Amino acid sequence: MAGLTLPVGGWRWPGWRHLPRDTRDTLFLLGVIAWIVLPHVPRLPWWCTLLTALVLLWRGQIALSGAPLPRRWVLVVVLLAVAALTLFTYRTLLGKEAGVTLVVSMMALKTLELRARRDAFVVFFLGFFIVLTQFLGSQSLPVAAAMVVSVWGLLTALVLAHMPVGQPSLRQAAGLAARTALLGAPLMALLFVLFPRIGPLWGVPQDAAATTGLSGSMTLGSVAEVALDDGVALRLRFEGLPPAQRDLYFRGPVLTEFDGRQWKRREPAGSDAREAFEALSAPLRYEMTLEPQRLTVLPLLETPPPDAAPRVDGLRVLRGAALEWHAARPVTERLRFEAEAVLRYRYGARLSRAQLHDALALPSGFNPRTLAWAEALRHEPRLAEADARTLAAAVLEHIARGGYTYTLEPGTYGDATGHDAIDEFWLDRKRGFCEHFASAFVVVMRALGVPARVVTGYQGADPRPSDGYLIVRNSYAHAWAEYWQPGVGWLRADPTAAVAPDRIGLTRSLQPRPGLVAGALGTVSPTLLAALREAWEAADNRWNQWVLNYSSGRQFELLKSLGASSPSWEDLAYVLLGVLCAASLAGAAWAWWDQRHQDPWTRLAARIRRRLQRLGVEAAPHHAPRTLAQAVRERLGERGAALAALLEALDAARYAAGGRRMPPAAWRREFAAQARALARDGALR
Amino acid sequence: MRALDVLTLPLHPLRWLAARARRRFRAWWMARTPPSDTHQLRQSNIYILPTRAGLMFGTTLLVLLLASINYQLNLGFVLTFLLAGSGVVSMHVTHATLRGLTLRLRAPAPVHAGEAALLEIVLTSPGTARYGIGLRAETATPAAFSWIDVPARGQAVARVSFVPARRGLHAVPTLLAETRFPLGLFRAWTLWRPASSVLAWPAPERPPAPLPAALGTARGEATTRRAEGSETEGVRAYRRGDPLKLVVWKKAAKHAGVGGELVSRDTSAALHRQLWLDWQASGSGVDEGRLSRLAAWVLAADAGHVRYGLRLPGRELPLGQGESHRRACLEALALWRA
């Protein structure tokens, strides 16, 4: 087996310029392969990364030392080992991760099989495929830039392979590759705009889902995790003025069941979905761009009227219990849709005790001190006849005055089984995040006999709209509460507003500690950091809107703007075919013109010859104008003196120093006139 | 016939038909363009087709497109269409690599049969620089390409080798110029029939037979005694082509000031020896063997600076010496017909 030979002592790097052509091309191709594989390293198993690195280094060493390539059976054995390891790691050879592992290994092994210039095409095509699989993870701007560099590198390697003479510089080959790609960019833009965006052809790929975001349950501390993520959750654009920050509540999962440790959504038993809904303000129209998320619940602005479901392309949206809105399947792609919201409303005024049973249930044996405290509060004289609203106000006042602190890192509450977590928070330490306050509030309200439940979602948005869009990040994840007042319905109560009003009013969300670079930049110039971030956000937003969100909806809008009344797939296909046909015809017309194209001088000379031949003067293609002038004098004598003079003038104009390429139009007219006159005279004779 | 050949039997009539169609097409194409030593590449004589790599590229694009559709990756569409655009542009660039070039064949030098005749082809580009153009004889193996780049508004010379198997006048074979620049997805080629011919002298016999004995002249002794002035015997006026070691330099130095000419020694054998290379004396055997032997003798006689003449049935070349005489003899041998 051709073993690995380490470079012997005394071998020096000869310098890039002094490498032989084959070696340089091979090293360049290996570098491009390394660049392509690099973004996949976090997701590849460690043995695959190690194998690829070793194989690439080995191939580089072979190229530099001129050693022979390993035998074919070596590669077959290694490939079988790779397949076995893949099976062992992923339990399958199909599927996304296993496929990427196999393709990366095959590409690395293929480099051991080829010379620099021949039969490298399999490597190139595998490279393109690996670039594509990168997009399954992320399609952001940096990924797009890396893709452009990868494609450029691969095209440069292809161009180098087809310039077999001499030693073309890398810059020359890269320039040729870039020119080819740039000239093809208009076709790319045309196809991108007009190619129909049909839905998935088979299966629903679950792999591209998000891994952060709200989930359908809440334990104390889980929302705080999400709030550390500064990534964008959704973007909004309102028709008209956006509402105030304190009205921007986005309703996600509603959690009713509490088992002492965890809040969960209630399975919709007897649904209150058809309960009376009364809108108290005008609906507000907006457009939302929602990032992929784990849940089927869409975090819409509170709250869409029951009959106005958001219109989403290719997705059914249904209204569920507790004013949630569900998508028919998990949202795996970025969605862009329009919806309405009514900011002030009345809902569920006439629910029965049986329907509210779940909103009153408390687990027995948990948080006894809190329950006792609630009992004590209930029996206070001023609250004897209090209704739900008064009780809620009293609890909120207690929160505001009771020495509570709003912090992102309060520490853990409760022991391993979660016993007395609320007790510890409510009565002892009094430090917590929105979820602590919301949980405690709901527990206290239920202990007071008021039906209440926790609502999770997002609250607020970035203070300044970016590019016209309000941005809601994951750090705006929030938990608040709802309680039920007879005759009125469900009312929102946000305990966080009581303890940290600026969290709600101004929406300066709690900033997690910045990273090293961001921190340094922030201390040097905070405004610069903020400005950079805004510019980046705007660019990212534009990228999302114009490229990543370019969907069939946008295509139909484009067709509508071009005049089609009700566009469909067929119209789009016709337009695309029409444009391609027109381009082909234009190309054919140019080819025809190019074929017929004659040098203007040759054409003129042919015309002169024809005229002279009609006058009886012998003119051959190889005669210069001077020769023709002499022939004219000989043939026509004195009559042809003027014509001959014209021909001599043409000769001088063309061939003299500083001569022009073509005679002026006046000369041609005069020549034509003279020739016609002579022809008439000749005919008369 | 092997067992597997039985399976391909049904294809035989198809193959025969295909071969016949190819021959007819070939005849039509050869009648269409007269042979010429200058070949101007225009749209009408450049052919372009995708290569196997180009078809693989198309399949890859299809796979990328399907993956982008299924996973709804707009960036995947960008990648696929960028590559598609590059492919289409590369088709135009490949065609434009050949279009506008002028190929001109320089007159090929004669060679011995069995040796490689080097055809020099000058490529001229009126406009842009051209890269990666390969030239070969159409019937040679694909590995026999000689690659060349043509600078912008400049010329380059390519050399194609062609081995004439027998002696005689061979038409230069049809030449193929091909390129796959820049991406190797398309192959543009042109076929060119030059009008020139390559003269193939007979291959000299190896190992060469000994030269026949030279005959002395009637005037043998007297010629040597005749001297010019005070010169020693065996000098004569310098003839162009005389090897320099035969020139009498002392004399030249003496007479250089007074405008004297160069003189060179006359080798004695040449003075009074006459070497006739005769068909009759070239052994017995087939004609080609005799011609090979005569060719070897011509070469040997020329190397020995002997005056020699050639006698063939129907042709006689008088005694002579020098490069042109050698060529004339070899040409006579090459073109001799029974």
Q: Three-state SS string across chain B, please?
A: CCHHHHHCCCHHHHHHHHHHHHHHHHHHHHHHCCCCCEEECCHHHCEEEECHHHHHHHHHHHHHHHHHHHHCCHHHHHHHHHHHHHHHHHHHHHHHHHCCCEEEECCCCCEECCCCEEEEEEEECCCCCEEEEEEEECCCCHHHCEEEEECCCCEEEEEEEECCCCCEEEECCCEEEEECCCCCCEEEEEEECCCCEEEEECCCCCCCCCCCCCEECCCHHHHHHCCCCCCCCCEEECCCCCCHHHECHHHHHHHHCCCCCCEEECCHHHHHEEEEEECCCCCCCCHHHHHHHHHHHHHHHHHCCCCEEEEECCEEEEEECCHHHHHHHHHHHHHCCC
b/e per residue, A289-328, with b = 16+ CB within 10 A? bbbebbbbbbbbbbbbebebbbebebeebebbbbbbbbbe
Confidence at residue A81, expressed as pLDDT on a 0 to 100 scale:
93
For residue A164, the distance in angstroms to the closest alpha carbon of chain B comes to 6
- The amino acid at residue A29 is L
Contact A595/B73, CB-based, under 8 Å? no
Q: Backbone phi, then psi, for B210, in 5-degree steps?
A: -70, 150
Q: Which are the contacts of A502, defined by CB distance < 8 A and separation ≥ 6?
A: A508
Confidence at residue B222, expressed as pLDDT on a 0 to 100 scale:
42
Residues of A in contact with B87 (CB under 8 A): 184
Question: Which pair of structure tokens corresponds to residue A363?
Answer: 């687990």
Residues of B in contact with A131 (CB under 8 A): 79
**What confidence category does residue A306 fall into, taking pLDDT thresholds of 50, 70 and 90?**
confident
Residues of A in contact with B150 (CB under 8 A): none
User: Average pLDDT of A197-203?
Assistant: 70
Q: Which of B53, B69, B82 lies nearest to residue A151, judging by beta carbons?
A: B82
Q: Which of A313, A301, A312 is nearest to A340 (CA)?
A: A301
Contact A205/B181, CB-based, under 8 Å? no
In the numeric block, the tokens 């063309």 are attached to A654
Least confident piece of the model among A152-166, A196-210, B1-15, B124-138: A196-210
Which residues 294-353 on chain A approach chain B with CB closer than 8 angstroms? 333
User: Average pLDDT of A253-272?
Assistant: 75
C-alpha–C-alpha distance, residues A16 and A9, integer Å? 20
Q: Which of B43, B79, B86 lies nearest to residue A594, judging by beta carbons?
A: B43
Q: pTM higher than 0.90 for the full model? A: no
C-alpha–C-alpha distance, residues A125 and A128, integer Å? 5
User: Average pLDDT of A570-593?
Assistant: 90
Contact B74/A548, CB-based, under 8 Å? yes
Least confident piece of the model among A22-31, A260-269, A293-302, B20-29: A260-269
Selected for mutation to probe chain A from B74, B99, B147, B148 (highest A CB count within 10 Å) is: B74
In the numeric block, the tokens 């391909």 are attached to B8
- pLDDT of residue B231 exceeding 50: no
Contact B72/A135, CB-based, under 8 Å? no
User: Average pLDDT of A68-72?
Assistant: 86
Whether the CB-CB separation of B147 and B155 falls below 8 Å is answered with no
**What confidence category does residue A510 fall into, taking pLDDT thresholds of 50, 70 and 90?**
very low
Question: Which pair of structure tokens corresponds to residue B80?
Answer: 């696929």
Beta bridge partners of B296: none
Q: Where do the DSSP E strands lie in A500-626? A: none
Neighbours of B196 (CB within 10 A): 15
Contact B69/A186, CB-based, under 8 Å? no
C-alpha–C-alpha distance, residues B201 and B108, integer Å? 13
**What confidence category does residue A465 fall into, taking pLDDT thresholds of 50, 70 and 90?**
confident
Confidence at residue B132, expressed as pLDDT on a 0 to 100 scale:
93
Q: Which of A584, A628, A583, A585 is nearest to A604 (CA)?
A: A628
Residues of B in contact with A128 (CB under 8 A): 60, 64, 79, 83
**What confidence category does residue A5 fall into, taking pLDDT thresholds of 50, 70 and 90?**
very low
Tell whether the torsion through CA atoms of A210, A216, A222 and A223 is positive or negative. Answer: positive
User: Average pLDDT of A393-397?
Assistant: 89
**What confidence category does residue B250 fall into, taking pLDDT thresholds of 50, 70 and 90?**
confident
Confidence at residue A331, expressed as pLDDT on a 0 to 100 scale:
72
Q: Which of A132, A165, A180 lies nearest to residue B93, judging by beta carbons?
A: A180
- pLDDT of residue A268 exceeding 80: no
Which residues 184-213 on chain B approach chain A with CB closer than 8 angstroms? 184
- pLDDT of residue A661 exceeding 50: yes
Which residues 59-88 on chain B approach chain A with CB closer than 8 angstroms? 60, 63-64, 66-79, 81-88
Q: Backbone phi, then psi, for A120, in 5-degree steps?
A: -90, 5
C-alpha–C-alpha distance, residues A500 and A248, integer Å? 16
Q: Which of B66, B81, B89 lies nearest to residue A192, judging by beta carbons?
A: B81
Distance in Å from the first CA to the final CA of chain B = 43
Q: Which of B56, B84, B181 lies nearest to residue A162, judging by beta carbons?
A: B181
C-alpha–C-alpha distance, residues A100 and A85, integer Å? 13
Provide the CA A499 distance to its chain's centre, in angstroms.
39
b/e per residue, B163-182, with b = 16+ CB within 10 A? ebeebbebebbbbbbbbbbb
For residue B72, the distance in angstroms to the closest alpha carbon of chain A comes to 7
Mean pLDDT, rounded, of chain B: 85
Q: Cα separations (Å) of A547 from A139, A584, B201?
A: 10, 27, 71
Q: Cα separations (Å) of A582 from A564, A577, A588, A589, B125?
A: 19, 8, 10, 10, 32
Contact A121/B53, CB-based, under 8 Å? yes
C-alpha–C-alpha distance, residues A296 and A294, integer Å? 7
Contact B73/A151, CB-based, under 8 Å? no
Per residue in B171-208, pLDDT tens? 999 999 999 999 999 999 999 999 999 999 999 988 87
User: Average pLDDT of A416-440?
Assistant: 81
How many contacts (CB atoms, under 8 Å) link A and B? 144
What number of CA atoms fall less than 13 Å from residue B305's CA on the CB side? 14
- pLDDT of residue A450 exceeding 50: yes
Whether chain A has a CB inside 8 Å of the CB on B117: the answer is no
Confidence at residue A315, expressed as pLDDT on a 0 to 100 scale:
77
Contact B85/A181, CB-based, under 8 Å? yes
Residues of B in contact with A129 (CB under 8 A): 60, 63-64
For residue B111, the distance in angstroms to the closest alpha carbon of chain A comes to 28
- The amino acid at residue A454 is V
Question: Which pair of structure tokens corresponds to residue A439?
Answer: 């949980």
Confidence at residue B175, expressed as pLDDT on a 0 to 100 scale:
94
Whether the CB-CB separation of A278 and A538 falls below 8 Å is answered with no
In the numeric block, the tokens 């039509």 are attached to B28
Contact A135/B75, CB-based, under 8 Å? yes
Confidence at residue B229, expressed as pLDDT on a 0 to 100 scale:
43
DSSP class of residue A94? S
The torsion defined by the Cα of A298, A304, A308 and A314, in degrees rounded to 10, comes to: -10
Contact A199/B56, CB-based, under 8 Å? no
Which residues 176-195 on chain A approach chain B with CB closer than 8 angstroms? 176-177, 180-181, 183-188, 191-192, 195
Q: Which of A212, A216, A211, A225 is nearest to A434 (CA)?
A: A225
Confidence at residue A497, expressed as pLDDT on a 0 to 100 scale:
83
Per residue in A338-357, pLDDT tens? 888 888 888 888 777 777 88
C-alpha–C-alpha distance, residues B274 and B310, integer Å? 11
Look at B169 and A461; give whichever has higher pLDDT: B169
Least confident piece of the model among A75-89, A609-623, B64-78, B240-254: B240-254
- pLDDT of residue A194 exceeding 80: yes
Q: Which are the contacts of B321, defined by CB distance < 8 A and separation ≥ 6?
A: B270, B302, B305, B306, B307, B308
Q: Which of B67, B74, B148 lies nearest to residue A132, judging by beta carbons?
A: B67
**Closest residue in A to B76 (Cα–Cα):** A132
For residue A54, the distance in angstroms to the closest alpha carbon of chain B comes to 27
Whether the CB-CB separation of A452 and A446 falls below 8 Å is answered with yes
- The amino acid at residue B29 is W
Whether chain A has a CB inside 8 Å of the CB on B44: the answer is yes
Which residues 15-74 on chain A approach chain B with CB closer than 8 angstroms? none
Q: Cα separations (Å) of B261 from A296, B230, B239, B240, B242?
A: 110, 15, 10, 12, 14
DSSP per position, A297-334: B--EES---TT---BBTTB-EEE-GGG-EEESS---S-
Mean pLDDT, rounded, of chain A: 82
Q: Which of B63, B73, B131 lies nearest to residue A135, judging by beta carbons?
A: B73
Provide the CA A319 distance to its chain's centre, in angstroms.
29
In the numeric block, the tokens 């039906």 are attached to A451
Which residues 521-550 on chain A approach chain B with CB closer than 8 angstroms? 547-550
How deeply is A471 buried, as exposed, middle or buried, from its count of CB atoms within 10 A (0-12, 13-18, 19+)? buried
Residues of A in contact with B58 (CB under 8 A): none
User: Average pLDDT of B22-44?
Assistant: 88
Residues of A in contact with B149 (CB under 8 A): 163, 165-166
Whether chain B has a CB inside 8 Å of the CB on A588: the answer is no
Whether the CB-CB separation of A158 and A124 falls below 8 Å is answered with yes
